Amino acid sequence: MKVIGKHLTVDMYGCSFEVLDNVEFVKNAMVSAVQQANMTLLDFSYYKFEPQGLTALALLAESHMSIHTYPELGYAAVDVFTCGDHSRPDRAVAVLKSFLKPEKTKTTHIKRGDFGSENDMKPKVKVSIAPLRRVRNTGARVLSFLSRSKG
């Protein structure tokens, strides 16, 4: 069976509480992502949890996009699944990143409908860290290394 769809799952860490708890902001981000990624929005639905958090779903002619937010953790779970060749799920993810401004992301690319046609069925995973976070992590590693070399 040939590949029938591209499915990107994205874990976004270090997002603002206010952004992740704002339905209108998340909706605007998703609608913008749909438009810029050459997708067709059929319907938009959401549920706002109390005391915080939301789930938003964009039903697309090409499939769907969803976001589940956990503002208290600064975390958003994003799903973008598209069928066909004209849409750009990678572009949709880039637009969502520009709105949500995560410090760190983990993106997994899954080829749907690909059973048996690829040698390696493991999803391709890409991790990115915002530049400031990268500097902080590097500094911590250098200090750790220096403290070990003295002992």
User: Which positions are catalytic?
Assistant: 63, 68, 83
Q: What is the mean pLDDT of the chain?
A: 88
The superfamily CATH assigns to domain 5-150 is: S-adenosylmethionine decarboxylase (3.60.90.10)
d(CA 32, CA 20): 16
Q: Concatenated DSSP letters for 40-61?
A: -EEEEEEEE-SSS-EEEEEEES
pLDDT of 20 strictly over 60: yes
pLDDT digit string (tens) for 95-144? 999 999 999 999 999 888 876 665 545 566 777 776 666 666 676 777 77
pLDDT tens column, 22-74: 999 999 999 999 999 999 999 999 999 999 999 999 999 999 999 999 999 99
DSSP state of 117: T
